Every structure is written in structure tokens, then in C-alpha cells.
């Protein structure tokens, strides 16, 4: 699983950078325009992914849940959001790098947003985080297209060919 997670961590960083590069070409009003997404706008959707990841990272480190709402706005400024995304990508990559197969197989006990006690293997949590990001990048890709931007190609083979 670790080898797969290493690829996903790299892909995650690459795909996020491509989304942000295109989003920077848009006016601020367009990044905040309601595109009928679950989190409404491109900006809010990108911010949500960081919120969700920080909740999971707090669980990973045995810290209190930092937010009660998955739509908590964290970054009003797009530059700050981009910087936070880049830092978060580094944190996720480091978690993969720092854990061998045994570490990734360890179960993590946590409470979900409803307060229910649950357990998941750490590797599966990372797999979820990368999958969650892909899900929302798909929404962002659609929003970029709606906003008239030239949405980037995010297919995995293009990332692999860039290595």
C-alpha cells in the first residue's frame, strides 16, 4: 500500500498545483461565484478540502477536532489558500514518507463528526484523504469549465509521464 500512497501523494500535489494555476487566472469574483457545487464556489470547495484534512490530521495526532463544520471558512485570501494547500500537500507526503507498512497498518481510534467512536487503519485514512481530494478536484474542474477557464488535464497518466 505504501508504494501506492507515494504515487497518490505525488499526484495529489501535482493535480492541486494545476487546479490552482488555472484558478489564479480567474478574477476573485469568479473564484467565489456560486457554481451550484456542494460548497457553492471554487474557493469554498478548495478551502473545504483543507478543513477536512486538518480534521483527519488532528485525529491522527490525537488532538481535539479543530472544526465542527466541514464548511468552516479558513482562508479569505486566495494566496493564503494556495500557500495552505501547498503546505498541506507537504504534510500529507511526509505522513506517507514517515510510515512503513507496519505504521500504515496501525489502527487509529477516533470519533467522527457525529461523535461516534470508530477505527480505521492509518493507510486507509490516507487513501481516503487522497480520494476525497480527487472527488473535490473533479468538482473544481467542472467549476473552472463553467467559469470559462481552460480546465487542466488531471488524468493520472499525464502525471506519471511528468515524473
**Would you state the pLDDT for residue 61?**
97
- Hunting for cell 485570501 — which residue is that? 77
Query: How far is residue 27's CA from residue 95's CA, in Å, rounded to a whole number?
Result: 34
The residue among 50, 63, 55 whose CA lies nearest residue 125 is 55
To the nearest whole percent, how much of the chain has pLDDT over 90? 99
- Hunting for cell 505504501 — which residue is that? 2
Angle (CA) 44-46-49 rounded to 5° is: 105
Q: Within 10 A of 29 (CB to CB), how many other CB atoms are there?
A: 8
**Would you state the pLDDT for residue 31?**
98
Model confidence pLDDT, tens digit, residues 133-156: 999 999 999 999 999 999 999 999
Query: How far is residue 148's CA from residue 145's CA, in Å, rounded to a whole number?
Result: 5
* Average pLDDT value over all residues in the chain: 97
What is the value of pTM for the model shown? 0.95
Please report, for the chain, the start and end positions of each structural domain, with discontinuous segments joined by +. 2-162
**Would you state the pLDDT for residue 138?**
98
Query: How far is residue 15's CA from residue 125's CA, in Å, rounded to a whole number?
Result: 20
Task: For domain 2-162, say whether CATH 1.20.120.450 is its number.
Answer: yes
To the nearest whole percent, how much of the chain has pLDDT over 70? 100
Q: State the first-to-last Cα distance of the chain, in angstroms, to the nearest integer.
A: 20
Model confidence pLDDT, tens digit, residues 47-98: 999 999 999 999 999 999 999 999 899 999 999 999 999 999 999 999 999 9
**Would you state the pLDDT for residue 157?**
96
Amino acid at each position: 500500500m505504501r508504494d501506492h500512497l507515494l504515487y497518490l501523494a505525488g499526484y495529489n500535489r501535482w493535480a492541486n498545483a494545476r487546479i490552482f494555476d488555472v484558478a489564479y487566472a480567474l478574477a476573485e469574483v469568479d473564484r467565489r461565484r456560486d457554481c451550484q457545487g456542494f460548497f457553492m464556489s471554487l474557493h469554498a470547495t478548495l478551502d473545504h478540502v483543507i478543513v477536512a484534512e486538518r480534521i483527519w490530521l488532528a485525529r491522527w495526532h490525537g488532538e481535539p477536532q479543530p472544526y465542527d463544520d466541514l464548511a468552516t471558512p479558513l482562508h479569505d485570501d486566495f494566496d493564503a489558500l494556495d500557500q495552505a494547500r501547498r503546505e498541506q500537500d507537504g504534510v500529507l507526503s511526509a505522513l506517507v514518507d514517515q510510515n512503513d507498512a507496519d505504521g500504515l497498518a496501525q489502527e487509529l481510534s477516533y470519533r467522527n463528526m457525529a461523535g461516534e467512536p470508530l477505527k480505521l487503519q492509518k493507510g486507509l485514512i490516507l487513501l481516503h484523504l487522497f480520494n476525497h481530494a480527487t472527488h473535490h478536484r473533479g468538482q473544481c474542474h467542472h467549476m473552472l469549465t463553467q467559469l470559462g477557464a481552460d480546465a487542466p488535464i488531471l488524468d493520472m497518466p499525464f502525471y506519471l509521464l511528468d515524473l
